[in-house]
Structure 1
């Protein structure tokens, strides 16, 4: 059932401010029972004003000009109301008054929230994480253009239906060249980022309700099988024709032997290697994803096989140029094997 809005405009003289038979003219804006008074910055003789017709008598050029100004102001107020109603803005008398006066506060939008988040947290989050947030923004922009025919919307219009439809859009979206379609868990990663940003809006009271409150879609837990000794031996002894694929194999084995994540392996360098009093070598470094939130390093003993893998790349030109133990490959290349 649609709500019927009420709106009216009424001009009147402020007779309590009358002086020498002249009083200031005001206009009362009424929306859904609430009202706000706006000064027209015009004064007129009380005797010339007819409240019933909301007009003034007189045939002078100044009288005609005043009547035109009153008529145009009434049109401007009505236009402001219609614009707020069309854009589904805040429909109150004060909002209409502010729009006419040009003192309205710009409403918070989805893109404003995303840009605010990215700007405020860019010093705390790693570039890889920021890249993911930029991707989420790009997908949201595509969704808005496709479904809403606009590039931005007010935050208060981001509701459960919006979020659900965004998830469906991601699931059905044609992937970019070289990428795979969004799986359920990929969709949920974008949802997690959007939910985090919505949390900022809630904390700052830019919105009143949490649109994720009734969102039901969840991550699908997958079983992750561990490689056994036989499988690792097969991987070690596998003959590979491409040098790059062999490098990825070595980096994977190194990860198995040390527990380092791919992003930590790609930045791993000789300065991260220490030697204890017993002559054993250790990795000592910060985790890439948490180094800005903790001052605690982790230490991993380098087993003989791990040291042997490191020795293979002492003279690798790409590694030397990058100042790391291994040549640098992006996560996408690591996942599909680098073309060499």
Structure 2
């Protein structure tokens, strides 16, 4: 950032006085800030003319402003243009800067722009940053700070992947800040975020059959049936499944655009899936859960908890004090989640030796030899794979 003092004759007012201003330039960008000092004669450098009224006092004041500008630019060279502009305005005018945003403030600003499903991760990151260093700003974060933050999370017994999630969120905020010229500082350059591979949460075909055929009623039956529907529809994401509309189902196929990526999908709706869709047909949606729930997230939480109760119900009597007996469940599968259906679909496909690229097509993943030139061929590959997987699961069903 460069600057110079300006006293333009063209700005002389009706009293014959010229405003003393500072013009700042950064590459092709420029802005002007008035010091509030008025001069009778043009200023040469930082010195007022000897015959200028109160010339010594005005010169002293202007020198103080210049010293503050130099110090600010030196200490904030990594700060982006917009923040530098705001800080320099405050220095020249003597008014306090309106912006005192910390890193956690910026993380929350980013969170407000995200979808509901993503917002939680940003808010968690903001809370952790605030707990660790509530005075951190964009310009003060460096690699050492990031390492200290990671150690702080270690002390809270955070997992490797949870720490990675928080750091990824902070990194995305810096990317956003760079794009909006709020900072020039980027501490993630050559900074490696460590992750670890999590175990694949798939189940065996025998366990899947046991869940499918387990005697249930009411809500638990619906939770199980929607789990199976997820499986039949190539492990469709729960957010996409619950927000399908009637128009997404046409001619025995479900065509929809993935909420997370915006990518268009085209998958078969086999008879097993259609039976469940008809059973839980919605009024405003293809399926009924969102007819009574404000968002898919509110239903998803109940669905997630309900899957863990698919199994034998046992009544446990209280051994101390009064109260009703409580119920607990011995689940068919420990830690069953909605996403288990997706992992299981893929693992059964691999067990049946369906080519990896075909499984990738079913799941909506990209693959090197899968191109838009072969859409009809790819659709048949998906249809054949889905039918083969479901037939295998149905193998022992009476």
- Both structures adopt the same fold (TM-score exceeding 0.5): yes
Indicate the TM-score class for this superposition, using the shorter chain for normalisation: 0.5 to 0.7
**Offset of residue 184 of structure 1:** 2.0
Does the aligned pair in 2 maintain the 1:117–1:197 contact within 8 Å?
yes
User: Where in structure 1 are there 5+ consecutive unaligned residues?
Assistant: 1-25, 27-36, 47-61, 174-180, 276-280
User: How does the TM-score come out when normalised to structure 2?
Assistant: 0.50
Which residue of structure 2 lines up, in the alignment, with residue 312 of structure 1?
279
Number of residues of Structure 1 aligned to a counterpart in Structure 2? 251
Which residue of structure 1 lines up, in the alignment, with residue 121 of structure 2?
132
**Offset of residue 159 of structure 1:** 0.7
Q: State the structure with bigger RCO (CA 8 A, min sep 6), 1 or 2.
A: 2
- How is 1:26-175 mapped onto 2 (pairs within 5 angstroms)? 39=46, 43-44=49-50, 80=68, 89=76, 100-102=91-93, 110=103, 113-114=106-107, 117=110, 122=113, 126-145=115-134, 150=135, 152-153=136-137, 155-173=138-156
Mapped to 2, the partners of 1:115 and 1:74 lie a distance apart of: 39
Question: Radius of gyration: which is bigger?
Answer: 1
Mapped to 2, the partners of 1:84 and 1:267 lie a distance apart of: 51
Aligned CA-pair RMSD: 4.5
**What is the CA deviation profile of residues 255-276 of structure 1, one whole-angstrom value per residue up to 9, with x for unaligned ones?**
111121111122124332212x
Which residue of structure 2 lines up, in the alignment, with residue 254 of structure 1?
229
User: Where in structure 2 are there 5+ consecutive unaligned residues?
Assistant: 1-19, 21-43, 79-83, 291-295, 310-398
Does the aligned pair in 2 maintain the 1:38–1:97 contact within 8 Å?
no
User: How does the TM-score come out when normalised to structure 1?
Assistant: 0.57
Mapped to 1, the partners of 2:128 and 2:270 lie a distance apart of: 44
Q: 1:272 to 1:204 in 2, by over 3 A?
A: closer
**Offset of residue 327 of structure 1:** 1.2
Choose which of 301, 324, 332 in structure 1 pairs with 2:268. Answer: 301
Mapped to 1, the partners of 2:120 and 2:261 lie a distance apart of: 17
Does the aligned pair in 2 maintain the 1:268–1:326 contact within 8 Å?
no
**What is the CA deviation profile of residues 5-52 of structure 1, one whole-angstrom value per residue up to 9, with x for unaligned ones?**
xxxxxxxxxxxxxxxxxxxxx9xxxxxxxxxx9646x55459xxxxxx
Does the aligned pair in 1 maintain the 2:111–2:122 contact within 8 Å?
yes
User: Are 1:265 and 2:232 matched, yes or no?
Assistant: no
**Offset of residue 308 of structure 1:** 1.9
